[in-house]
Amino acid sequence: MTRVPSPLPEDPCDVAGAKWAGTVTVGVGALAYSGVVGATDLHRHGAHQIVHVTTGRVSVELETETVGPTSGIVIPGGVAHALRPGPGSAVATTIYLDVDTLRGADTREMVADRPPAEWSEVFGEVVGSWPVPLDALDDRARHRPLVEHLSAVPGADEVDGMHPYVRAALDVLSERVTGRTSLGEIAAAVNVSVPHLNRLWRADMGISFPAWVRWTRLRQAARSVGAGASITDAAHEVGFADGAHASRVCREMFGMSPLELTRAIVIV
């Protein structure tokens, strides 16, 4: 049973001096966060991040440069970065879009070969391609249909260059991602060598196979927590070895621990 949304936390999470407080809507291929943006540690997630700032500005610290301050930016999946709000506080809606969805593939194509200095320009191109007005990102009541739309995966006639082996691997993974899953097992299932599938996967997805598996499990765990499961139970349910494993992946992907996230964010 889905947990009834509660009010925003009175004691939001304080990470590196900036506080998070908001709600998350989780879908099968996307999630949307709306609320106060706090700082994070350096992290990289297995999804594209589309940030729409409605109050204030944010900067994105990369390993070699800083982008911003800006009111809108696309951060490609797999890129190490840290968020820094300010000057002052920032409120935003952030969409995390899985790389294997139709809109994720479109986003990767738009941002490919664009330097970080142009990621704010890409934001307008990406959001402009969605069949919703920009102000829909500010309305939490519209996040559920938006997330469901963005979660759509390509059909057989919509692969747009995705290699058949990668599509076949995704079909196999849809049944196995919560179990013991290795690239070797998936390669054997689709009758291709591991090195070849690894190259094709990176070319089509833009992130590694293990990163995709970790991200997918983490998103599924978030849905379970939103439905009332404990962090430990959700971790076991989606294939993590234990709560500590899930915590490490959460910090890797979000720059925060599950405890920090659940203190600050209501999952709906």
Sketch the domain layout of the chain as residue ranges.
Answer: 13-153+258-267, 164-206
Question: How much is the pLDDT for 156?
Answer: 45
Give residue 154's pLDDT. Answer: 59
pLDDT digits (tens, 9 = 90+) for 130-188: 877 777 777 778 888 888 888 876 554 455 678 889 989 988 888 877 777 889 999 99
pLDDT tens track for 230-260: 888 888 888 887 778 888 888 888 877 777 7
pLDDT on residue 230 = 80
CA 189 to chain centre: 27
Return d(Cα 109, Cα 112) in angstroms, integer. 5
Q: Which single residue is written with the structure tokens 């720059």?
A: 255
Share of the chain above pLDDT 70, in %: 89
Report the 10 Å Cβ neighbour count for 241.
10
What is the CATH topology of the domain spanning 13-153+258-267?
Answer: Jelly Rolls (2.60.120)
Task: Report the pLDDT value the prediction gives residue 82, as an integer from 0 to 100.
Answer: 93
Burial of 225 (0-12, 13-18, 19+ CB in 10 A): buried
Which of helix, strand or coil describes residue 103? helix
Task: Supply the pLDDT for residue 5.
Answer: 33
Q: According to the model, what pLDDT value does residue 178 have? A: 73
| 11 vs 140: which has the higher pLDDT | 140
pLDDT of residue 147: 86
Tell me the pairing of strands 58-61 and 47-55.
Answer: unpaired
Main-chain phi, psi angles of 88, to 5 degrees? 80, -170
**266 within 8 A of 9, measured Cβ to Cβ:** yes
pLDDT at 158: 55
Residue 266 has pLDDT above 60, yes or no: yes
Alpha-carbon distance of 59 to 205, in angstroms, equals 26
Task: Show the tokens assigned to 204.
Answer: 């089509």
